[in-house]
Amino acid sequence: MSNSTKYIFVTGGVTSSLGKGIIAASLAKLLQARGYSTTIQKLDPYINIDPGTLNPYEHGECFVTNDGAETDLDLGHYERFLNVPTSQANNVTTGRIYQSVIEKERKGEFLGKTVQVIPHITDEIKERIQILGKKGTFDIVITEIGGTVGDIESLPYVEAVRQMLWEHENDCLVVHLTLIPYLAAAGELKTKPTQHSVKQLLELGVQPDILCCRTEHPLDLNLRQKIAKFCNVSVNAVIESRDAETIYDVPLLMQQEELDKVVLEKLQLSSKTTPNLDAWKEFLHTLKNPKHEVNIGLVGKYVELKDSYKSISEGFIHAGVSNECRVNVKWIHSEKLSKENIDKELGGLDGILVAPGFGSRGISGKIDAVRYARENKIPFFGICLGMQCAVIEFARNVIGLKDANTTEIAEDTKDPVIDMMEEQKTISDKGGTMRLGAYKCELKPDSYSAIAYNTEKISERHRHRYEFNNKYLPTFEDKGMIATGKNPETGLVEIVEIPGHPWFVGAQFHPEYKSTVAKPHPLFVAFIKAALENKK
């Protein structure tokens, strides 16, 4: 057995959306449960430097790491499954690869050579893959290649994989995810698309070791043998990946299929410990057998695409399990909320969450939703823009500052209760320039937040340009909205609360990024608990 880091590549064929991220996370979970420190990386073949500038409709949520990287939402799954933080190194795009190759070229690092896709771009890709292994922290690095095999854009990545397989033969492995469609008219599962996508990989010089076959029906032995024969893999390396009730079932389904065992055998690794998934199984059991139920309204402007709020909805699932409670989420479009329908839309909810966001669209509906929660004493949780809306609402309707606003949408407002941070005012570039990543925060004793966290010193992840304007703080506190969380170095307000309300918390940071199966986020847990206690 070698001591070197092992690299597992996860590629996808036939179609997109087969759930490569969940398979990668599930495999990592199984390897972690056997005592191997494992991390997962996503390589995205698009030209944006990172997804930070992408509209959520394009790409779902932008996930933020502790070190302030704006990344693909799959990294959220990795963290939720493994309970290990990811970093900038865990998500690399074609844009970033080219950017660093071009920077090196400008510095003369290629010594007058012609700079080409092979070897320069592929070398850069291989370096980015191996950075995580070289750190020495991880026994196994799983690299998910975004896109579908055969796409023009993913060619350099597959080529980098081919080179790595050649250079580190015994330390690398390829898991290819494909689809086995069911033809209802023929009453049959069809293997041809899988055969073709493996052929496509073979044309590029890559022979997959394991095939994970997405299917709506069980794969019988005959079919597995057929796939194995046509695709040059062993029969036990044909893994059935059936549609699951929840994504949290997938590690157990993969364990039943012995995906981890096959992987370890092929990498010539022994199982250091018997995999212990008891905590995971208990989580699943509670998830599927809740004792209670609450109805939470999620007010946002991207609700047509639920991936835009992925970490928030997963945070609800984790917090629900902590409270032995099913969390039914009612998705409420903030643009469609009006004085006429607000009672119908929000009345009867056990809790209201106002979501993060950017720009003016849908903001007045969010402010009305805050008012409704405040006045009707419904537990309220505001995140980032949701917290800012809570501040604006309080200024207008409690303090009486009728024009109070955020300078994000009214630059010349008389009362900029939310204002752009000083250091943001000179920045013109859009990508990677917000206040990003983890910052410390100190909590007021006995506040809702301090009770939820059970500590007064926390660190949470940020992604915003605007802040509570401290000029107004004395007035707010005098009228009953308290800054219960502050950055100890800058004094920036990170949390506002209204004591006396059943539960009213607005957080400038994004707690949802830190909620995992093993560690549901304290604010989500406390919010769901309050919703449960206040249930009508």
Residue 259 vs 385, nearer CB to ligand GLN: 385
The dihedrals phi and psi of 509, each to the nearest 5 degrees, come to -90, 180
Helix (H, G, I), strand (E, B) or coil at 302: coil
Q: Is 357 in the site for ligand GLN (CB under 6 A)?
A: yes
Residue 125 vs 354, nearer CB to ligand GLN: 354
**How is residue 206 annotated by DSSP?**
-
The dihedrals phi and psi of 456, each to the nearest 5 degrees, come to -110, -5
Q: Is 53 in the site for ligand GLN (CB under 6 A)?
A: no
Residue 231 known to be catalytic: no
Residue 199 vs 465, nearer CB to ligand GLN: 465
User: With contact defined as beta carbons under 8 Å apart, do 346 and 111 qualify?
Assistant: no
Helix (H, G, I), strand (E, B) or coil at 68: coil
Place of tokens 């980032």: 384
Q: Is 356 in the site for ligand GLN (CB under 6 A)?
A: yes
CB atoms within 10 A of CB 127: 14
Gap between the Cα atoms of 515 and 522, Å rounded: 8
Instruction: Report how far apart, in Å, the C-alpha atoms of 210 and of each of 122, 197, 217, 503 are.
Output: 24, 13, 19, 50
Q: Applying CB under 6 A, what is the total number of residues that bind ligand GLN?
A: 10
Of residues 377 through 416, those in contact with ligand GLN by CB under 6 A are: 384-385, 408
Instruction: Report how far apart, in Å, the C-alpha atoms of 61 and of each of 11, 51, 521 are.
Output: 22, 9, 18
Q: Which of 20-28, 149-157, 268-276, 354-362 is the region at the interface with ligand GLN (rule: CB under 6 A)?
A: 354-362
Gap between the Cα atoms of 143 and 42, Å rounded: 6
Residue 462 known to be catalytic: no
Q: What's the distance, CA 291 to chain centroid?
A: 28
Q: Which of 7, 36, 358, 503 binds ligand GLN (CB under 6 A)?
A: 358
Catalytic site residue from 59, 120, 501, 510: 510
Q: Which of 464, 501, 521, 529 binds ligand GLN (CB under 6 A)?
A: 464
Residue 441 known to be catalytic: no
Angle between helices 74-82 and 20-33 (to 10 degrees): 20
Q: Which of 78, 157, 394, 466 binds ligand GLN (CB under 6 A)?
A: 466
Catalytic site residue from 393, 408, 467, 512: 512
Q: Which of 173-181, 276-284, 352-360, 486-494 is the region at the interface with ligand GLN (rule: CB under 6 A)?
A: 352-360
CB 523 → ligand GLN: shortest distance, Å? Answer: 15
CB 435 → ligand GLN: shortest distance, Å? Answer: 8
CB 245 → ligand GLN: shortest distance, Å? Answer: 31
Q: Is 465 in the site for ligand GLN (CB under 6 A)?
A: yes
Helix (H, G, I), strand (E, B) or coil at 145: strand
Q: Which of 69-77, 247-255, 320-328, 457-465 is the region at the interface with ligand GLN (rule: CB under 6 A)?
A: 457-465
Catalytic site residue from 213, 231, 384, 441: 384
Instruction: Report how far apart, in Å, the C-alpha atoms of 239 and of each of 23, 242, 429 are.
Output: 11, 9, 46
Q: Which of 207-215, 314-322, 395-403, 459-467 is the region at the interface with ligand GLN (rule: CB under 6 A)?
A: 459-467
**How is residue 526 annotated by DSSP?**
H
Residues at the site binding ligand GLN, with contacts judged by CB under 6 A: 356-358, 384-385, 408, 463-466
What are the catalytic residues? 384, 510, 512
